[in-house]
Amino acid sequence: MNIRTIGFIGLGLIGGSIAKALRRVHPELQMIAYNRSRESLIAAMEDGTINQATDTLNESFAACDLIFLCAPVSVNIRCLQILKDIIRPDCLLTDVGSVKTTIHEAVNEIGLSRQFIGGHPMAGSEKFRYANASDRLLENAYYILTPGADSSAEHLEAYRNLVASIQAIPIVLDYREHDRATAAISHLPHIIAYALVNLVRRSDNTEGLMRMLAAGGFKDITRIASSSPEMWQQICTENQAQVLQMLDAYREDLALVEAAIRKEDNAALIKYFDQARIYRNALPESYRGTIQPLPEIYVDVPDETGAISVVSAILAANRLSIKNMGIRNNREVQAGALKIVFENMKAAAKAAEILKKYNYTVYERD
Ligand SMILES: NC(=O)C1=CN([C@@H]2O[C@H](COP(=O)(O)OP(=O)(O)OC[C@H]3O[C@@H](n4cnc5c(N)ncnc54)[C@H](O)[C@@H]3O)[C@@H](O)[C@H]2O)C=CC1
Ligand SMILES: O=C(O)C(=O)Cc1ccc(O)cc1
């Protein structure tokens, strides 16, 4: 299969990141995009990512060898019916949606199953829209492919090669298995994050004490509550059965914890927390999973003018470039006041070593 022209339906964080990566690796590709808002299309034309933009889903997509559906999941499904009458019979159709069963059912019903292979890059972030897209977002991330019973081996091979060419890691999964796994590791965690933030929002006093104190642990577990509400409403609705099952199972776990606390069953609590801790510590570090934070260190700095400049001057003198830096007003266990973010682990470790030599107290993430 020869892929020369690629179409994008939806050009936000994920569509934009795939298009940008493809533009970098395959500059000869023709790329066309349709998006609801013109803003992304204008930006992508201006930065040279796409060659053609359209704000209606029209005949321009007849030229495509491959089309990525990159809008929210229910929108992708709605677009299939229109695309059916536009695309060529040899065009490979795929999506990047977080839910796979409903789109596979829809392509079967519409008669597009021969041309469709589901896709789901397991990389992303709570930041959405084209403005946050990056040509490196998918690098080293698993990219799940879900062929259907009618998908062709030629299409699968071509898709696999394209994914590998942008340095993502293709893996093939059954679409139902995909939806059960993502309900547990992605969809339920997003619901829990939204719920936790709403609980604190409702429980806070009028002075906003909780909001002021909200620290590391709360922020770590709720980062994803900043994700797109429109996207997550559609994911919950499309993966309804699996999400409800995981919510039930989660409620059972909460009930176990509740009972142990009520009975003051300390042994049960320790066992429960320990099982989770061991499993959590054994999660693989090597792949980027969803988004992996850049390595950071914390440094205790005196509360005086110029203290931060001294730290950055030491790092600059040692040719260590800083990705980000910020004061943390909240000193929890282990966290110093100045957070410094680096490009990679090696730079973070070197910075820690140098600052320790200058007698700074440095905390590194384990
Ligand atoms: N955000 C993430 O981290 C990840 C998201 N996904 C999936 O990728 C897809 C896109 O998500 P993101 O890029 O994050 O969201 P996004 O909000 O950045 O992009 C979605 C794009 O679709 C456009 N859009 C929305 N409704 C539309 C409509 N009715 N017609 C035409 N265009 C429309 C929006 O204008 C936007 O540009 C979703 O299906 C999501 O499940 C997959 C992996 C990771
Ligand atoms: O921000 C994060 O950590 C995410 O989990 C992003 C994400 C959102 C949806 C997906 O289907 C995959 C990844």
Domains and CATH numbers, the chain: 5-173 (3.40.50.720), 178-281 (1.10.3660.10), 296-364 (3.30.70.260)
Ligand 2 close to Cβ of residue 239 (< 6 A):
no
The pLDDT of residue 234 is above 60: yes
**CA distances, 333 to each of 213, 216, 218, 336, 364 (Å):** 14, 9, 13, 9, 12
Q: What is the ipTM of this complex?
A: 0.99
On average, the pLDDT of the chain sits at: 93
d(CA 265, CA 269): 6
Instruction: Look at residue 289 in the predicted model and tell me its pLDDT.
Output: 46
Is residue 354 within 8 Å of residue 314, measured between CB atoms? Answer: yes
Range in 49-58, 113-122, 175-184, 347-356 the model is least confident about:
347-356
Mutation pick for ligand 1 pocket among 13, 74, 143, 234 (CB with most ligand atoms within 8 Å) = 13
Ligand 2 close to Cβ of residue 364 (< 6 A):
no
Instruction: Look at residue 332 in the predicted model and tell me its pLDDT.
Output: 45
The pLDDT of residue 141 is above 50: yes
**CA distances, 183 to each of 48, 62, 176, 236, 241 (Å):** 36, 35, 11, 9, 9
Q: How does pLDDT run across 291-329, given as a tens digit for each residue?
A: 455 688 888 888 788 888 899 999 989 989 887 787 765
d(CA 242, CA 272): 24
Instruction: Look at residue 328 in the predicted model and tell me its pLDDT.
Output: 67
d(CA 306, CA 310): 6
Instruction: Look at residue 365 in the predicted model and tell me its pLDDT.
Output: 64
The pLDDT of residue 96 is above 60: yes
Range in 121-125, 236-240, 247-251, 346-350 the model is least confident about:
346-350
- Nearest bound ligand to the CA of residue 237: 1
Ligand 2 close to Cβ of residue 86 (< 6 A):
no
Query: If you measure from the C-alpha of residue 189 to the centroid of ligand 2, how many angstroms do you get, rounded to a whole number?
Result: 10
Range in 21-30, 238-247, 309-318 the model is least confident about:
309-318
Q: How does pLDDT run across 177-198, given as a tens digit for each residue?
A: 999 999 999 999 999 999 999 9
Mean pLDDT of 207-211: 95
Mean pLDDT of 129-144: 97
The pLDDT of residue 331 is above 50: no
The pLDDT of residue 344 is above 90: no
